[in-house]
Amino acid sequence: MVTVEERYEHLEKTIRGYNISADFEQIRSAYAYAREHHGAQLRRDGTPYITHPLQVAQIVAEMRLDSESIIAALLHDCIEDTDSTYEDIAKRFGVTVADVVDGVTKLTRVKYSTMEEEQMENLRKMLFAMSRDIRVILIKIADRLHNMRTMEYQTPAKQKKKAFETMEIYAPIAHRLGMQKMKWELEDLSLKYLDPVAYEDINRKLEEESARHDQFMSAVQAQINTRLTELGIRNATVYGRVKHPYSIYRKMYAQEKTMEEVYDLFAFRVLVDTVQDCYNVLGVAHDLYKPILGRFKDYIATPKPNMYQSLHTTVIGDDGIPFEIQIRTYDMHAIAEYGVAAHWKYKQGIKRQGGEGTYEWIRRLLENQEDADAEEFIHSLKIDMFSDEVFVFTPRGDVINLPAGATPIDFAYSIHSAIGNTMVGAKVNGRMVGFDYQLHNGDIVEINTSKAAHGPSRDWMKTAKSSEARSKIRQWFKRERREENIAQGRASFESELRHAGLTLSQVTPPDVLPSILKRVGFQSLDEMYAAIGYGGCTALKVVNRIRDELLQLSRAAAVEKAAQEAAAAKEVQEGRPPAPQKSKSEKGLIVEGLSNCLVKFSKCCTPVPGDAIVGFITRGYGVSVHRKDCPNADPERRTPADQGRWIRVTWSDDVYESYTTSLEVVCKDRDGLLVDISTALSASKVSVTSLNSHTTTDGFAIFHLTISVTDAKQLDHVMRKLHQISGVMKVSRPAG
């Protein structure tokens, strides 16, 4: 058995192998901190829990990442699984490390109504952190890889769940980031639990044929090496491999073939020094073997968005066996194996966050999901990040990459939303095509627009493949057709209600509607109708959630009534008079001496639970609630005629889960300020209802925010987060 200390010594040895100037004192300190905080925790296999962070750090070190990445990997479970806090890690190891650890941490303390919502919010948080610092996802992939390597100790149900999530999310992210080596291992480990019979069958057959496969690969390798030597191409490395099990499985599944019918089992790789040598090797390959038409791809001239570069060609050998040859330089190979991680070996010791500009696509991807619900978010994410891509050209020769199956609609909106909104026709390779035409690699696409265009059609939502296009179409309908959206959404909603055996009168009572709106995530019925109308959500999903909420409310009311009746009966039996009923709260407030009165929160000071408050009886509008520090509630400003209208109000125990309030943020204006404010608000888990800003002539920017918070404590946390942003001078709550 390898001891914990020996694992750590091996980690240090790995780091010294590529970064002798690493901060070993801080790395050792992080190891000691993690070991102390995980304490006596054990993994499912009975080993000390600290072995997991050590192995994750080992994988990160094998990617040759910097000292901060190693430290964050060692600490990555501390916030989630121990009493350690963000603030403590930031104090000991720096804010950058704390941010990376926080980015990897799941939102375990938040309750969600569905598993999809939980998965969506965890993904959204991880992607947001990843857009700020790419090391977040590199550590997360390393974490998932080690978990999959030790998945045999988990229950069968958890094995399948984690394997499915890995196949759906983490392996494709690794692919999108160009990390092919890790992608293959994640896919193979997932297949082992998702289809164990097929996995064992493929491995057994590969084992049985290994001698024949080795003989074939050695022969081809020798042929290529001999010809390269004859032509004077020096320092070339040639090697072959059998496709990994999941790659074979996918081919068998997609083409409905048996293992024996999968012919292109082999792939050869040729590594050389220069790009010129790559093309020379391609000529050698096509001279030695017969190329298959249509199976040549030049990713050197047209790199993939994840920076992958290589020449791919499929040929048929002398004995009729087809195989693929990949040709690339050694630098290209480093990127192909480790993707974005390969760039970190050039950045050792550089104190800055990684990849903010290079990975702007992640931020755009999140922006495209703003109006999507949980299921739509995950579905769109898979298409945008994880699907195969098609490369097409503008008439000027610019390369545009789109998801496979994309149409001219996707192309138009990828250029600009104004192009998509005014599109009236499309040409592909000089020929008019329909809007549902599927684009192919190498197509030259031209979009015809007109100022007289009526805008996108609702049918385009079904035709568009990318979430960017669907998001921009939704935004157009949301902006231009609100009344139409409300009418159409209401009709769809009421139709679905009738189909579910419900009526609108069951949804709209004042004591029911707030719970319903909270469950479906809208502030008002009109907002819900509009979202259904422009495609932000479906009537079916909304009605299903409403039905569940009505059922829960009905059960809760029945339980409460039974409890009250039992208590009253007991009091009568014991000869005691029934206890007086407590004042009923309205909107989480108890108004002294009044019940069932209309209550509203004043817009001048927007109080939240925890604030000291006072009520004012208005004429015809119930009780208006102010913060006590609001100028409008100042006792010195009250007139004698109104003295009797001021009334005592207190917060009750059954406060709502969110209250709307306002903030004003005064900052020194600079680039990226809005992004930093948005990041702070997202990290604080608050909903932003509105955000307006203006700049002053003396170089200041003033932001007016309307946000939803649970109470004054959360609001103080948000204000502290905003205060920490560079350039922020003042954060205040407007009043009066």
The pLDDT, as a whole number, for residue 266 is: 84
Q: What token pair was written down for 651?
A: 């917060």
Instruction: Tell me: pLDDT of 304 over 50.
Output: yes
Q: How far is CA 485 from the centre of its chain?
A: 28
Report which of 145, 126, 185, 157 is spatially closest to residue 52, judged by C-alpha positions: 145
DSSP assignment string, 332-393: HHHHHHHGGGGGGGG-TT--S-S-TTTTHHHHHHHHTTTT--HHHHHHHHIIIIIS-EEEEE
CA angle 297, 300, 303 (to 5 degrees): 90
203 has pLDDT over 60: yes
Strands 659-668 and 599-601: unpaired
Judged by average pLDDT, the poorest of 34-38, 46-50, 181-185, 687-691 is 687-691
Confidence band of 571 (pLDDT split at 50, 70, 90):
low
**Structure confidence by residue, pLDDT tens digits, 237-269:** 998 888 888 888 887 776 677 766 666 678 899
User: Which of 9, 25, 77, 81 is flagged as catalytic?
Assistant: 81
Assess whether pLDDT exceeds 80 at residue 387.
no
State the amino acid at position 339 in one-letter form: G
Q: Looking at per-residue confidence, does 133 or 626 come out higher?
A: 626
For range 457-473, the mean pLDDT: 82
pLDDT at position 621, please?
Answer: 64
Q: Say yes or no to pLDDT of 13 above 90.
A: yes
Contact indicator for 345, 435 with CB cutoff of 8 Å? no
The Cα–Cα gap between 203 and 129 comes to 38
pLDDT tens-digit profile of 277-292? Answer: 999 999 999 999 998 8
Bridge-partner residues for 425, per DSSP?
Answer: 448
Q: How far is CA 295 from CA 311, 428, 609, in A?
A: 11, 22, 65
Cα gap 214→135, rounded to integer Å: 38
Report yes or no: 337 and 181 within 8 Å, Cβ to Cβ.
yes
User: Which residues are CB-contacts of 97 (< 8 A; sequence separation ≥ 6)?
Assistant: 68, 71, 72, 75, 89, 90
Residue 525 above 70 pLDDT?
Answer: yes
Kindly report which listed range (203-217, 303-317, 413-427, 572-586) carries the lowest average pLDDT score: 572-586
Crossing angle of helices 525-534 and 482-499, rounded to 10°? 100
- Strand duo 728-732 + 659-668: pairing: antiparallel
- DSSP 8-state symbol, 444: B
User: pLDDT tens-digit profile of 644-671?
Assistant: 788 888 887 766 667 888 999 998 888 8
In the predicted model, is pLDDT for residue 353 greater than 50? no
Categorize the per-residue pLDDT at 618 as very low, low, confident or very high, splitting at 50, 70 and 90.
confident
Q: Return the ∠ at Cα 700 (arms to 699 and 702), rounded to 5°.
A: 150
One-letter amino acid at 461 equals: M
Q: How many CB atoms lie within 10 A of CB 301?
A: 11
**Sign for the pseudo-dihedral over CA of 540, 545, 547, 550:** negative
Q: What is the pLDDT of residue 575?
A: 61
Residues in the chain: 736
> Tens digit of pLDDT for each residue in 406-452?
999 999 988 888 899 899 999 998 899 999 999 987 788 999 998 88
**Least confident piece of the model among 99-103, 134-138, 728-732:** 134-138
Q: How would you class 87 by CB atoms within 10 Å of its CB: exposed for 0-12, middle for 13-18, buried for 19 or more? A: exposed
Number of H helices, E strands in the chain: 30, 21
Inter-axis angle of helices 95-104 and 86-93, to 10 degrees?
140
Q: How many CB atoms lie within 10 A of CB 600?
A: 13
pLDDT the model gives residue 655:
66
For the cut 80, the answer to whether the pLDDT of residue 28 exceeds it is yes
Confidence grade of residue 120 (pLDDT, cut at 50, 70, 90): low
Q: What pLDDT, on a 0 to 100 scale, did the predictor assign at position 546?
A: 86
Tokens representing residue 211 in the block: 């001698």
Per-residue model confidence (pLDDT) at position 270: 93
Residues 6+ apart with CB under 8 A from 92: 29, 33
- Judge contact between 69 and 60, C-beta under 8 A: yes
Q: Specify the range with the lowest mean pLDDT, choosing from 30-34, 145-149, 284-288, 532-536.
A: 532-536
Evaluate whether 78 touches 46 at the Cβ level (below 8 Å).
no
Which helix H or strand E contains 707, and what residues bound it? strand 700-709
Cα-atom radius of gyration of the chain, to the nearest Å?
31
Pair 38, 29: CB distance under 8 Å: no
Does the pLDDT value for residue 73 go beyond 90?
yes
Q: Which long-range contacts (CB under 8 A, 24 or more apart) does 600-603 make?
A: 600/624, 600/625, 601/625, 601/659, 601/660, 602/626, 602/630, 602/632
Four-residue CA torsion sign, 82, 721, 125, 543? positive
* 81 a catalytic residue: yes
Catalytic residue among 9, 36, 77, 80, which? 80
Cβ-based neighbour number of residue 303 at 10 Å: 17
Give whole-number Cα distances, 315 to 206, 293, 312, 441, in Å: 22, 9, 10, 20
Q: Share the mean pLDDT of the chain.
A: 80
Q: Establish whether 77 is a catalytic residue.
A: no
pLDDT bracket for residue 143 (50, 70, 90): very high
Report which residue type is found at 520: V
Residue 703 predicted with pLDDT over 70: yes
- Can you give the pLDDT at residue 271? 93
